[in-house]
Chains A and B, each alone.
Chain A
Amino acid sequence: MPVLFWTLKALLSHWRRHPVQFFSVLTGLWLATSLLTGVQALNSQARESYAKASQLIGGEPQKVLVAPNGANYSQALFVSLRRAGWPVSPALRGRITLKNLPEQRLTLLGIEPVSLPSNTALAGQSLDTAQIVDFFTPPGSTWISPQTMQALGLHEGEQPLSESGQALPQLHAQADMAPGLLLMDIGFAQQLLNQSGQISRMILPADFAENTPALPDDLKGELVIRKSGEDNDLGRLTESFHLNLDALGFLSFVVGLFIVHAAIGLALEQRRGLLRNLRACGVSARGLIGSLIIELGVLALLGGIAGVISGYWLASVLLPDVAASLRGLYGAEVAGHLNLSIWWWLSGLGVALFGAFLAGASSLLRAARLPLLALANAQAWHETHARWLKRQGWIAGISALIALLAALFGNSLALGFVLMASLLLSAALGLPVLLNALLNALLGKSRSVLGQWFLADCRQQLPALSLALMALLLAMAANIGAGSMTSGFRQTFSHWLEQRLSAELYINPQNSAQAAPLQKWLSEQPLTSAVLPNWQVSLQLHGWPAELYGVIDSPHYRQHWPLLDSASGDPWGQLAKDDTLMLSEQLARRLKVAVGDEVKLPAPDGDWQLRVVGIYADYGNPKGHMLVNAEHLLEHWPQLTPNRFNLRIDPHAIPQLLRVLHNKFTIDDNRIVDQIQLKAWSRQVFERTFAVTAALNSLTLMVAGVALFISLLTQSQSRLGQLAPLWALGVTRRQLMLLNLAQTWLLAVLTLVLAIPLGLLLAWCLDAVINVQAFGWRLPLQVFPAQLLSLMLLAILATLLASAWPLYRLYRTRPADLLRTFANES
C-alpha cells in the first residue's frame, strides 16, 4: 500500500504544478459528458413521455376500434357492439384550451372506467370500485401529471374552467400520467369538448383482440381495428428527430475526447522524467500503470460529475424548445420538467469513465512501454511525428474511401451517419497532413529569414496544436453544414408554405351530419370563390401511418399544388379521371415508388390499385400523404363525409363568415383555422425545431474554442524555449507576441478555409442523404455567403479569444524566465 500511496502522491503532485493541464483534462471530460448526457436526458425524457402516453390504459398499447377517417362517431356503435357481446370500452379524445391559459392546448381523454376490462390499470394505477365511482360521480376527477399541473400553475382539487366557461372535474395529480394530458370520465369529456354522444375510439381488451374477431356486418367499413398509437406511434415517428440529437451529442463527445486525449498525452510527455524516477525508485511497471489508471479514473469521475450536472442543466434549458418542436411536428407531448432516474446519472459517469479511458488508452500504453533508460530525445520525437503523420494520412484516406462507399451505396439513416462520421474523421485526420504540406509548400517559396523561421516554427507547433485545430475544423464544418441546411430548409419551406397554404380558411365540420348542409351553405356565400371539400381516410402502408385525401377536380390544385415529379400530359386531369393517385415525397421514398408505378391501398372491399401520377413535397409531415379523386374514394368508402372544407374567400368577408359559422353551425374556433394562423404556426414549429440544433452547434464551436485555448496555453510554456533565442537575437517581446499571434492565426485561418468546403460537403450530406433517410425529403443544396462570412468571423473571434490569454502571458514573461530556458537547456 505505501507504494501505491506514494506513487499516486507523486503522480498527482504534477497536476498541482500544472493546473492548466489538469483543467484541460477536466474540461474535455466535462464538455464531452455534458453534451452527450444532456442530449440523452432530452431523449430519454421524451421517450418516457411517449411510453407513458402509450401505456396510459392497461400499461401497454391497446387495440382500438376507430372510424377509418379517424373522426369521432356515435356512441350508439359502442352500445350495439356491447349488446353483440364485444367487451369494448368507449373513449373520447380531443383538444381543449383552459380559460386564462390560451397558450396551452391540452389533450383531453375521456374514458369509461366501468366498461374497461377489470383490473385495467389507468396511468399505472388499478382502481377499486370506490375509486371508479368517485371518478365519474360529479364533481369527478381530472387526472393530470404533476409536472403539467405545476406548469399550468394549477392545484390539486381545483376545477379550472374551459374556454367556454365549463368547470373541469377536480384536478388530481397522478404520477404516471402522460404530460399535457387530462384524463377524466367520458361523460365530462363529452360536455367539455361539446361532443355529446360522440366517441373517438373503443378500446378492446388484449385477450379479446388476440383472436382478431370479425366485426358485425353492419359495422364493417364504419369501424376498423387499429393498435392504439399506430396512427400516432410517437416512438417511431420521432425516431429520426432523436437520432439527430444523438448524433449531435455524439459529435460533441468525440470533440471533447480529443481534448482529453491531447491533455493526457501532454501530461504524459511532461511526466516522462517522473515516471523514470518512479521506476528507478522501485515502482514496478504494473504498479505504475495501475496508479495511472486510478488517476485517470479519478479525473474521469470529477469531470463526469461536472459533466452530468451541467448536462442536466443543459437539458433543462433546451427542454422547452425540444418539447415545443416535438409537439408541433408530431403532436407528441413531452413533460416540461426533467425527471431522470439514478441510472441516467450513473450512466453519465459511466460514459465519462469510458471516454476517459478511450482517450487515455494510447497514453497508458505508451507509459507501459516507456523505455526506462532512454533519455528524452527531441529529435526522435520529430521522426516519430513524421511517422505518425504518415499513418494519420493513411487512416484519413481509408476513412475518405469509406465515406465514398457509404455515399454511393448507402440506403439507410445509419449508413448516412457512417458517411458523415467517416467524412468528418477523414477530414480531421487529414488536416495536420494537409497543413503540414501547405506550410512546406509555403516554406519553399519564402525568401526572408524571419519568414522562413516563421513558417518552420509554425510547422513545429503543428503537432501540439493539431488536435485543437481538428476540433476547430469539425466544429466549423458542422456549423456551416447545419447552418446551410437550416437556411436552405427555411427558404424551401417558406416558399412551399406560400404555395400550398393558399386557401384562406380551413373549416372542420362538427360531425358528419353537418358536412352536407355546411358545404351547401358555404358554396352559397357570395364572396366565396371556391369550396374545396376534403375526404380523409387514415391508413397503414407497410406499417407506416398515412392519410388518404379525396379531393375534387379544381383548377385551384393545378395552380397551388406544386409537383416535384409528375406523369407527362395533364396529371391533374388523370387524377380526376383514372384510378390514379399523387403522394408525398417521403411516402414515395418509403414505398419505393416513382411516377408510373402502381400502389395498392387497403380498402374495406379489398385492395385498391392505383397508378402514381404525381409526387409532391410535404415538408414536416411525419405521416404519409396521398391525394385521390373524391369520387373514386367514395366508391370504396361510401359512408365517408367531408371532414374539412378549404375555402377560397375574399379576406374581408372572413369576420362576417366566422360570426355566422359560430351562430348557425355552432362551429367553435378550434375547428376553423385561417391561413395566417396556420403559416405562423408552421414557421414557429420550424424555428423551434432548429433552435435546438443551433444551440448545440454553437456549443460545439465553443468546445472547439476551449480546445484551442487549452492547447495554446499548454504550448505557451514550451514555446519559451523556442522564442528565447529570437529574443536573445534582438526581437522584442511585443514582436514575439505578434509573431506568435500571426502563427496561431495562420494555422486557424488555414483550418477555417479548409472547413468551408468540408462544411458544404456536410450540408450536401444533410440535404441529400440524412434528410432523405430521416424524414424522406430531399432539399436543394444552397450556399449562403453572408452566413459563411459571419460564421468565419465568429470562428476567428473565437480563435482570437482563445489565443489572447496565452499570448498575454507570453507578453508578460519576465526576461529572467527567458534567460532560465538557456540555463536549463543543457
Chain B
Amino acid sequence: MLQVQGVFKSYATAQGPLAVLRGADLQLGQNESLALMGESGSGKSTLLHLVAGLDQVDKGSIEIAGQRLDQMNEAQLANWRRTEIGLVFQQFNLIGSLKVEDNLAFQARLAGRYLPEWQAELVERLGLSALLKRYPEQLSGGQQQRVAIGRALASRPGLLLADEPTGNLDENTSDEVLQLLLDLLADSPTSLLMVTHSPRVAARLDRQAVLHLGRLAAEGDR
C-alpha cells in the first residue's frame, strides 16, 4: 500500500538548513494501521505531510498504491489528496463558517464522491445526528474531532493520515474518539498512519514506528 524509501527532507532556517528526515523508510499494508512516534522535532509531522502530498521530498520516493508521489506536480498532488487521502489534524480541522453537515460532506463533494448512505452511516456511528445543524464553534473538542474523522472518511480514501488527532482531548474523550476511528477502519479497506506521542494511543494500532534523528529507528508489532 505505502512505500517510503530513503526520504530526505530539510528546511531552511535562520541558522542554516535543518535536516529533518535523513533517509526515512516505511511500509504500510492495506487496511493496516501504523503509529508514528518520536520526540518533538523528530520529523513525524514532516513525514506525514510528505505522505499527504502537502509537501515534497528532497530525495527518496514515496509510492502509494503504485503511484509515485514524488513525481507528481502541484495539481496532481491536490487531486491526489482530494480523492485518496483523508486528513485529521490536532486542531483547526473544521471550516468554521460551515455547518457540521456541510463540513462532513465537504471533501467528498470536492472529490465528486458524495455517498449519501455512507454519509448517513458515518453520522450514525459517530453519533453526530443531533449536531448536524450546528457550527463547529458550538461543539466540544471531542465532537469537533469526530466531525473531522467523519469528513476524512466520507470519501472512502485509501489512506487516512492523522496528526495527533486526540492530542487536544482528555483521556476519556480521547479513548472514545480513537475507538470510533478504529471501529470505522476495521470495516473499510482504508489504511491508517497516525502521528502520536502517546504510547497508550500507539499501542492500540497494528504497528508502531519510532522516528529518531530523521530515520525510522525502531519498529514493533502489537
Which residues of A approach B to under 8 Å, CB–CB?
A: 2-3, 6-7, 9-10, 13-14, 16-18, 273-274, 276-287, 372-373, 375, 824, 826
Q: Are B111 and A282 closer than 8 Å at their CB atoms?
A: yes
**26 A-B pairs whose Cβ atoms sit less than 8 Å apart in the complex:** A2-B110, A3-B110, A6-B106, A7-B110, A9-B98, A10-B97, A10-B106, A13-B95, A17-B96, A277-B93, A277-B94, A279-B54, A279-B78, A280-B87, A280-B89, A281-B87, A281-B106, A281-B107, A282-B82, A282-B110, A282-B111, A283-B82, A284-B79, A285-B78, A373-B45, A824-B137
CB distance from A252 to the nearest CB of B (A): 32
Which residues of B have CB within 8 Å of A16?
Answer: 97
Q: Are A373 and B49 closer than 8 Å at their CB atoms?
A: yes
Interface residues of B in 76-131 (CB under 8 A from A): 77-83, 85, 87, 89, 92-98, 102, 106-107, 109-112
CB distance from B122 to the nearest CB of A (A): 16
Q: Are B168 and A826 closer than 8 Å at their CB atoms?
A: yes
Q: Whose C-beta in chain A lies nearest to the C-beta of B141?
A: A826
Q: Which of B78, B85, B87, B95 contacts A10 (CB 8 A)?
A: B95
Question: Is chain B's interface secondary structure helix, strand, loop, or mixed overall?
Answer: helix
Q: Which of B55, B78, B95 contacts A284 (CB 8 A)?
A: B78
Given contacts A2-B109, A372-B55, A373-B55, 17 further A-B contacts (CB under 8 A): A10-B95, A10-B97, A10-B106, A18-B97, A277-B93, A278-B95, A279-B54, A280-B54, A282-B81, A282-B82, A282-B107, A286-B74, A286-B75, A287-B78, A372-B54, A824-B137, A826-B168
Q: Are A281 and B97 closer than 8 Å at their CB atoms?
A: no
Q: Are A281 and B110 closer than 8 Å at their CB atoms?
A: yes
Q: Whose C-beta in chain A lies nearest to the C-beta of B80?
A: A282
User: Known: A3-B110, A280-B52, A281-B107. Contact between A13 and B97, CB under 8 A?
Assistant: yes
Report the separation of the CA atoms of residues A730 and B93 in the bound assembly, to the nearest whole angstrom.
35
Report the separation of the CA atoms of residues A130 and B97 in the bound assembly, to the nearest whole angstrom.
73
Q: Which of A13, A287, A824 contacts B98 (CB 8 A)?
A: A13
Report the separation of the CA atoms of residues A602 and B212 in the bound assembly, to the nearest whole angstrom.
97
Q: Are A284 and B75 closer than 8 Å at their CB atoms?
A: yes
Interface residues of B in 43-90 (CB under 8 A from A): 45, 49, 52, 54-55, 74-75, 77-83, 85, 87, 89
Which residues of A have CB within 8 Å of B168?
Answer: 826
Which residues of A have CB within 8 Å of B135?
Answer: 17
Report the separation of the CA atoms of residues A281 and B82 in the bound assembly, to the nearest whole angstrom.
5
Which residues of B have CB within 8 Å of A280?
Answer: 52, 54, 81, 87, 89
Q: Are B54 and A14 closer than 8 Å at their CB atoms?
A: no
User: Known: A273-B96, A372-B54, A826-B168. Contact between A285 and B74, CB under 8 A?
Assistant: yes
Q: Whose C-beta in chain B lies nearest to the C-beta of A375?
A: B92
CB distance from A291 to the nearest CB of B (A): 12
Report the separation of the CA atoms of residues A2 and B110 in the bound assembly, to the nearest whole angstrom.
6
CB distance from B149 to the nearest CB of A (A): 14
Report the separation of the CA atoms of residues A273 and B148 in the bound assembly, to the nearest whole angstrom.
14
Q: Are B109 and A282 closer than 8 Å at their CB atoms?
A: no
The size class of the interface chain B forms with chain A is 35 or more
Report the separation of the CA atoms of residues A18 and B96 in the bound assembly, to the nearest whole angstrom.
11
Which residues of A have CB within 8 Å of B98?
Answer: 9-10, 13
Q: Whose C-beta in chain A lies nearest to the C-beta of B168?
A: A826
Report the separation of the CA atoms of residues A286 and B73 in the bound assembly, to the nearest whole angstrom.
12
Q: Are B110 and A283 closer than 8 Å at their CB atoms?
A: yes
Q: Which has the most chain A C-beta neighbours within 10 Å: B98, B111, B112, B135?
A: B98
Report the separation of the CA atoms of residues A271 and B75 in the bound assembly, to the nearest whole angstrom.
22
CB distance from B107 to the nearest CB of A (A): 4
Report the separation of the CA atoms of residues A284 and B87 in the bound assembly, to the nearest whole angstrom.
15
Q: Whose C-beta in chain B lies nearest to the C-beta of A16?
A: B97
Q: Are B97 and A17 closer than 8 Å at their CB atoms?
A: yes
Q: Whose C-beta in chain A lies nearest to the C-beta of B91?
A: A826
CB distance from B86 to the nearest CB of A (A): 9
Q: Whose C-beta in chain B lies nearest to the C-beta of A372?
A: B54
CB distance from A822 to the nearest CB of B (A): 14
Q: Are B109 and A6 closer than 8 Å at their CB atoms?
A: yes
Q: Which of A13, A281, A286, A375 contacts B81 (CB 8 A)?
A: A281
Which residues of A have CB within 8 Å of B111?
Answer: 2, 282
Which residues of B have CB within 8 Å of A826?
Answer: 168
Report the separation of the CA atoms of residues A13 and B135 in the bound assembly, to the nearest whole angstrom.
11
Q: Top 4 nearest A-B pairs by Cβ distance?
A: A282-B82, A284-B78, A282-B81, A13-B97
CB distance from A737 to the nearest CB of B (A): 25
Report the separation of the CA atoms of residues A3 and B155 in the bound assembly, to the nearest whole angstrom.
14
Which residues of A have CB within 8 Å of B106?
Answer: 6, 10, 281
Which residues of B have CB within 8 Å of A18?
Answer: 97
Which residues of B have CB within 8 Å of A373?
Answer: 45, 49, 54-55
Report the separation of the CA atoms of residues A17 and B151 in the bound assembly, to the nearest whole angstrom.
21
User: Known: A6-B106, A7-B110, A373-B49. Contact between A282 and B95, CB under 8 A?
Assistant: no
Q: Are B82 and A274 closer than 8 Å at their CB atoms?
A: no
CB distance from B116 to the nearest CB of A (A): 15
CB distance from B11 to the nearest CB of A (A): 10
User: Known: A280-B87, A283-B78. Contact between A274 and B97, CB under 8 A?
Assistant: yes
Which residues of B have CB within 8 Å of A279?
Answer: 54, 78
Q: Whose C-beta in chain A lies nearest to the C-beta of B97?
A: A13
Which residues of A have CB within 8 Å of B83?
Answer: 282
Report the separation of the CA atoms of residues A2 and B75 in the bound assembly, to the nearest whole angstrom.
15
Q: Whose C-beta in chain A lies nearest to the C-beta of B82?
A: A282
Q: Which has the most chain A C-beta neighbours within 10 Å: B49, B89, B97?
A: B97
Which residues of A have CB within 8 Å of B112?
Answer: 2
Interface residues of B in 138-168 (CB under 8 A from A): 151, 168
Q: Whose C-beta in chain A lies nearest to the C-beta of B157?
A: A282
Which residues of A have CB within 8 Å of B110?
Answer: 2-3, 6-7, 281-283
Report the separation of the CA atoms of residues A373 and B54 in the bound assembly, to the nearest whole angstrom.
8
Which residues of B have CB within 8 Å of A281?
Answer: 81-82, 87, 106-107, 110, 151
Report the separation of the CA atoms of residues A2 and B135 in the bound assembly, to the nearest whole angstrom.
23
Which residues of B have CB within 8 Å of A282?
Answer: 78-83, 85, 107, 110-111
Report the separation of the CA atoms of residues A417 and B43 in the bound assembly, to the nearest whole angstrom.
57
Report the separation of the CA atoms of residues A667 and B120 in the bound assembly, to the nearest whole angstrom.
98
Q: Which has the most chain B C-beta neighbours within 10 Å: A10, A14, A16, A280?
A: A280
Which residues of B have CB within 8 Å of A13?
Answer: 95, 97-98, 102
Report the separation of the CA atoms of residues A280 and B111 in the bound assembly, to the nearest whole angstrom.
12
Which residues of B have CB within 8 Å of A6?
Answer: 106, 109-110
Q: Whose C-beta in chain B lies nearest to the C-beta of A283?
A: B78
Which residues of B have CB within 8 Å of A2?
Answer: 109-112
